[in-house]
Amino acid sequence: MDLTIVGATGLVGRKMIKVLEERNVAIDNFYAVASERSLGSEIGFRGQTHKVIGIDDVLEEAPDIAIFSAGAEISKKRAAEFAEINCYVIDNSSAWRMDDNVPLVIPEINGKSIKKGNFIIANPNCSTIQLLMALSPLHNKYGIKRVVVSTYQSVTGSGAKGIKQLLAERAKETTADKAYPHQIDMNLIPHAGDFVKDDYTSEEIKLVNETHKILDKDIALTATVVRVPVDGGHSEAVNIEFENDFDLFEVRRLLGAMPGIVVMDMPEANIYPMPVFAKDKDEVFVGRIRRDFSQAKSLNLWIVADNLRKGAATNAVQIAEYLIANEFVIK
């Protein structure tokens, strides 16, 4: 089984390589692809050094799986070329997520939506993944009517540029190549993505649209996205109104039984999820589980996950594992 990462030298691409190594995915030939400025550089994978090659070069090798992490423009332009040679593309950008012919997949929730011949598969937005990992088992049991979510998103969501700006400001240095229109150190910015219709941002609209596509189109959802000066992962304060009433003990049991979820909910001992704890872990952590007494049948949750792991690299690798395990990829 031959696999390539397109965008292998980027922040998420390097994390994908690490996850592939950790999970020991069955790969015979690995190809690292990046932009022209990285061609010829070297990248390590399983103790071997690989020369970074161009996207046209890897097309000639006809890999079985291509994981794209090079941005929406590249994905929109080049993914179809891989699909035409029966290579399964797992795309980490927003390019294909809302295409009716492309499955948008969180393997624990809707892996079965992938059918043979779906040669382009979309990885959801990082904030969507951790949100729906927690919402899915609760929706199946109680039926979700409405969700209000506020996200507190790490600078790692803006790639190396976001980290560079934060560290430069923290060191009292200046950098011309900024990720944000304002200072991020010692600050919060209620703005991620671009402002679009009705003064919402594209990141906020993604949460709505992707929840509808993956979970249920009838769930009413509104979001506020905030960029925060941390690098461990994204956090979400979530208020859920259900169709049916719930039992808190059962809510905790359902969340704890969901693959990929870890319940951290012992407030009396100051135990609850935090980005500093979630960093470099694959699980989605849920805590501060409590009834909302201001509204019937309503629940509050606090959800934290490493946006570079389960929010991007790990979810993409899990899709690749699903393709292999279900014999979508056969030599």
Amino acid 5 reads I
Encode 159-181: b = buried (16+ Cβ within 10 Å), e = exposed: eeebbbbbebbeeeeeeeebbbe
- Choosing from 87, 191, 212, 234, the catalytic residue is 234
Determine the residue type at 311: G
C-alpha 232: how far from chain center: 14
Structure tokens at 197: 């219709």
**What is the spatial distance between Cα 277 and Cα 193, in angstroms, rounded to a whole number?**
26
Instruction: Give the SS3 label for residue 112.
Output: helix
d(CA 299, CA 277) in angstroms, rounded, equals 24
126 assigned to active site: yes
| CB distance 102 to 132 below 8 Å | no
CA–CA gap between residue 91 and residue 70 (Å, rounded): 9
Tokens standing for residue 195: 């402002």
Distance in angstroms (rounded) separating the CA atoms of residues 139 and 315: 21
Q: Which helix (H) or strand (E) holds 254?
A: helix 248-257
Rounded Cα distance, 204 and 250, in Å: 30
Q: Mention every residue, 6+ apart, whose C-beta is less than 8 A from residue 37.
A: none
CA dihedral (132, 138, 140, 142) positive or negative: negative
First to last CA, the chain: 7
Count of Cβ atoms closer than 10 Å to residue 306 Cβ: 29
Q: Which residues are CB-contacts of 236 (< 8 A; sequence separation ≥ 6)?
A: 127, 130, 131, 149, 150, 151, 152, 301, 302, 303, 304
Catalytic residue among 126, 139, 182, 191: 126
Q: Is 182 a catalytic residue?
A: no
By the 8 A CB rule, do 270 and 149 touch? no
Catalytic (active-site) positions: 126, 234
